[in-house]
Structure 1
Amino acid sequence: MNATSAAVATAVTFVWLGMVLAISFLEAPLKFRAPGVTVPIGLGIGRIVFRALNRVEAVLAIAAITAVATGGSPASVGTPAAVAALLLAVQLLVIRPGLNRRSDRVLAGEALPRSRAHHFYVATELVKVFALLALGINVLTV
């Protein structure tokens, strides 16, 4: 892998990883513990925050894939990059639409039981974190 592609891939990967960890695993669960934050308010904030995060993630995924693809990377780098990008696509195209429909219903005042779709989103986030960690480590060791 050439030095420029490795530097870009490293920076993009660790920025992406940091954003996912900070928002998905710190901000998202903590906002519901803040005084005065109701479920509708938390959902409204969460939708805005995750929409912004996902847009930034899409840009970072494109940058990471481009750096990996143009840098002559081995499979140890290409595979976790592809896994992270694929998981993001699954989140955006498969899981998030259902979560958005559900949050629309809650925001409209409907009382709903807890959703399993959220657990799938969290599971994909966890796997994405490990893929990004593997990508970052592998880029640094190539």
Structure 2
Amino acid sequence: MKKQSTSIAITFIWVGFIGAISFMEAWLKFRAPGIDTALGLGIGQLVFNALNKVEITSAVLIVLLSIASKEKKPIQVQGLFYVAVAILVMQSVWLLPALDTRANLIREGVVLGKSKLHLWYVLVEIVKITCLILFGFRSFKHLNTNNQ
């Protein structure tokens, strides 16, 4: 039960990181006095690459705790986690590298046309955080149901 509770706690810590960084820091940094586009992009790259490492670590810990506890969750619960991890993989191997490349070009002074990469990132981030919230609550419900 302790491993399952720890897994749920990690899930909600992960949700907190996403909420604080993707849905707050990312929007606010460009409103701060003295932050121009180049500096904001540099800060963004640093913060989002750190967030990505935290997310990967969280996902790995949840998987390891699930294996160690020999816990079998219904697919309706586990599937939410799989979707979140699939999105994390997509962000790690495609979206973040593409956004980094774009940010580097802009910081070098290259004028680029509009891109939908940020929109894609925000959309999949909304799906991912929703899946993680539901996964956390359903895991908690599953844990309580099995321990009665």
Q: TM > 0.5 between the two?
A: yes
User: Alpha-carbon deviations, 1:76-115, whole Å to 9, x = none?
Assistant: 3211111111110000111111111111100111122332
Map of 1:65 onto structure 2: 63
Map of 1:12 onto structure 2: 10
Superposition pairs of residues 100-115 of structure 1, within 5 angstroms: 100-115=100-115
> What CA RMSD, in Å, does the superposition of the two structures yield over aligned residues?
1.2
Matched-pair contact (CA < 8 Å) for 1:65–1:81: no
Amino acid across the alignment from 2:129: V
- Match of 2:18, SS state, is helix
Aligned residues with identical type, % of pairs: 36
Provide the C-alpha distance between the structure 2 equivalents of 1:83 and 1:127, rounded to a whole number of angstroms. 9
Matched-pair contact (CA < 8 Å) for 1:5–1:71: no
1:44 aligned onto 2:42:
yes
- Match of 1:126, SS state, is helix
* Deviation of the 1:118 alpha carbon: 0.8
Larger radius of gyration: 2
Structure 2 gaps of 5+ residues are: 143-148
Structure 1 gaps of 5+ residues are: none
41-50 or 74-83, which deviates more: 74-83
Aligned length: 140
Provide the C-alpha distance between the structure 1 equivalents of 2:85 and 2:117, rounded to a whole number of angstroms. 20
- Match of 2:128, SS state, is helix
Q: Give the TM-score, by structure 1 length.
A: 0.93
- Match of 1:99, SS state, is helix
Q: Give the TM-score, by structure 2 length.
A: 0.90
Matched-pair contact (CA < 8 Å) for 1:99–1:117: yes
- Match of 1:96, SS state, is helix
